[in-house]
Amino acid sequence: MGAIRILTIAVTIVVVAVPEGLPLAVTLTLAYSMRKMMRDKALVRRLSSCETMGSATTICSDKTGTLTLNKMTVVEAHFIGTRLDPCDDVRAISSSSAALLIEGIAQNTTGTVFLPEDGGAADVTGSPTEKAILSWGLKIGMDFNNVRSKSSVLHVFPFNSEKKRGGVAVQSDTEVHIHWKGAAELVLSSCKSWLSLDGSVQPMGAQKRNEYKKSIEDMAKSSLRCVAFAYCLCDIEKIPKEDIADWKLPEEDLTLLGIVGIKDPCRPGVRNAVQLCKNAGVKVRMVTGDNIETAKAIALECGILDANGVISEPFVIEGRAFREMSEIARGEIADKITVMGRSSPNDKLLLVQALKRKGHVVAVTGDGTNDAPALHEADIGLAMGMSGTEVAKESSDIIILDDDFTSVVKVVRWGRSVYANIQKFIQFQLTVNVAALVINVIAAVSSGDVPLNAVELLWVNLIMDTLGALALATEPPTDNLMKRQPVGRREPLVTNIMWRNLFVQAIYQIAILLIFNFSGKKILRLQNESPDNAEKMKNTFIFNTFVFCQIFNEFNARKPEERNVFKGVTKNHLFMGIVCVTTVFQILIVEFLGKFFKIVRLNWSLWLVSVAIGVVSWPLAYLGKFIPVPVRPLQAYFKPCWKSSRRDEEEGRQG
């Protein structure tokens, strides 16, 4: 029987010592956070990404639809060398020029226009940019279906994110027109002529080119997206008859038709969200395909760039310049990049890779199919739920359902809450583990008996693993979480602050309970009881006191860094409920389940002393937080010794 008893105690100590409740706590806090994040418009596809998002050090965000509303309208137009005011007043344009422009708008598009038979408002579909241009086309007199019926499409070059343009070849009678539409400065660079007031084609001189460049820069500085329209005539004889699908549309020697500026206003609340990220130590970088000047203007409006700061290279850079650098050069400037304009999906991927090599935990937003590699490469891929493609969503870890950057910041907040809740549970569990282990080992070695038997330790283990996990894993996020710096990749999970709190509570519990273990009969005045009953009452008192120490310490674990551990406690109904349930079960165990637990009932005075000893953990935790802790992680102090021993071992082998 003695051997069985020793074996039972040994196995129970091992069960209590091993923190097997940690996986349960992690799963619970992830699952709880995932459900709550749905209310904040974030659909979590991979549970682990919740915790990773809390460690993010940088967010590479798209502009259109994420930082801006993605509700585009044409607000400025430049045609035949002059600005139209208002932008839909095309009376100054000749009928032949207007017909060419309208043909380009109607045929070179992926959108459609549906006109209801009852004469209601037109229903325009397509991407936000396409919808803005088609809506503007309707204002200048475009009859979408009529224009498309007058000419037939021969070949289409879809919009290309690398070239930032899309083209179409259309045949009308005996003429073939190649229409191009895309990024204004890139289309302008391919134009050798422009359409004049009377509809004649004029050569693009240096002065006229500079005029158009100035118009583009002015529009871009006003945060407008600039789109240019150009065309060229093609000899019908040069069009391949058989392999037309492989025909490369002519994209040089174009004639400029005009340029429009499309306004996409910033989302309300984005500036505050960006500032919140800055306070939290998370750098927001804008990666967009827009003109560099447009990107700068939006970044200044959103607060990503500071008007008083540096807004030149390498802080603001074009994708092409970054792409052409060597891998080493990209790594050197990656940290400094705040805005990347005229970028391709591959540029975004290169930036993510460079940032990861620098040790950053990178979150990336994306919506297009071409964004999939960057979303997959990033530590956390955030796809847009409304504008995102299925490929982008499949490559992501979290889907932002409303496409809003403020929701991305909420995900960061929840991620930090997950990480903090896991740390709270670890601190709570390690305190119980250390105290129970030391108390039983010292008692067993010194007297051959233990104050906490197997059944009692299993009940304590239940408090730690299941109830403790439920209580601490459901702590809601607080504003203080966004005032900390991100933990990054290499920070230890158990911080010096946690070690301090743990040792303060564990030493107190060990000291007080060992004193009662060795001198409890005298202190509690149990000399008048029979030896067997006095021993049982002493052990019952130690068990009861130990449990109440854990119940009160559970409050301390809620706020490892704050002195006021009761802040917001009444709002967490599950936490309060678990504390009440644990207390009620402890009373039932001591008062009614004595035979099963091999304990006896306690009188009211011993109950009060047990509770009083547990309550002391509150002021002790408050005072303990005045103890300063070193910045260097505790684990780092042991690394030099470990490395030197390994080095000596390797040298010995070589010798």
Residue 650: per-residue pLDDT: 46
Q: Which helix (H) or strand (E) holds 78?
A: strand 73-79
pLDDT, average across residues 220-228: 89
pLDDT at 533 > cutoff 90: no
pLDDT, average across residues 610-637: 87
Give CA 131 to chain center in angstroms. Answer: 30
Q: What is the C-alpha separation between 217 and 78, in angstroms, rounded? A: 13
pLDDT, average across residues 580-588: 92
Confidence band (pLDDT; 50, 70, 90) for 294?
Answer: confident
Q: pLDDT tens-digit profile of 488-507?
A: 777 788 889 999 999 999 99
pLDDT at 648 > cutoff 60: no
Q: What is the C-alpha separation between 597 and 419, in angstroms, rounded? A: 36
Assign residue 415 a region: left if phi > 0, alpha if psi is -120 to 50, beta otherwise?
A: alpha
Q: What percent of the chain has pLDDT over 90?
A: 38
Nearest alpha-carbon partner for 165 in 250, 61, 66, 97: 250
pLDDT, average across residues 95-114: 88
Residue 5: per-residue pLDDT: 67
pLDDT at 331 > cutoff 60: yes
pLDDT, average across residues 195-216: 86
Confidence band (pLDDT; 50, 70, 90) for 1?
Answer: very low
Residues 6 or more apart whose CB falls under 8 angstroms from that of 638 comprise none
Residue 96: per-residue pLDDT: 81
pLDDT, average across residues 632-654: 54
CB 582 within 8 A of CB 467: yes
Q: pLDDT tens-digit profile of 352-376?
A: 999 999 999 999 999 888 899 999 9
pLDDT at 399 > cutoff 90: yes
Residues 6 or more apart whose CB falls under 8 angstroms from that of 389 comprise 367, 368, 369
Instruction: Read off the tokens for 500.
Output: 């301090």
Residues 6 or more apart whose CB falls under 8 angstroms from that of 244 comprise 154, 155
pLDDT at 273 > cutoff 90: yes
For helices 405-447 and 270-279, angle between their N-to-C axes, nearest 10 degrees: 30
Per the model's pLDDT, the better-predicted residue between 53 and 642 turns out to be 53
The three-class DSSP label of residue 645 is helix
Residue 12: per-residue pLDDT: 65
Q: Considering the chain, what is the average pLDDT of its residues?
A: 86
Residue 442: per-residue pLDDT: 85
> What CA dihedral angle connects 578, 582, 587 and 593, to 10 degrees?
130
pLDDT at 653 > cutoff 70: no
Task: Determine if the pTM surpasses 0.75.
Answer: yes
Q: What percent of the chain has pLDDT over 70?
A: 93
Nearest alpha-carbon partner for 288 in 309, 316, 307: 316
Amino acid in the structure at residue 33: S
pLDDT at 341 > cutoff 50: yes
State the catalytic residues.
Answer: 62
Residue 469: per-residue pLDDT: 80
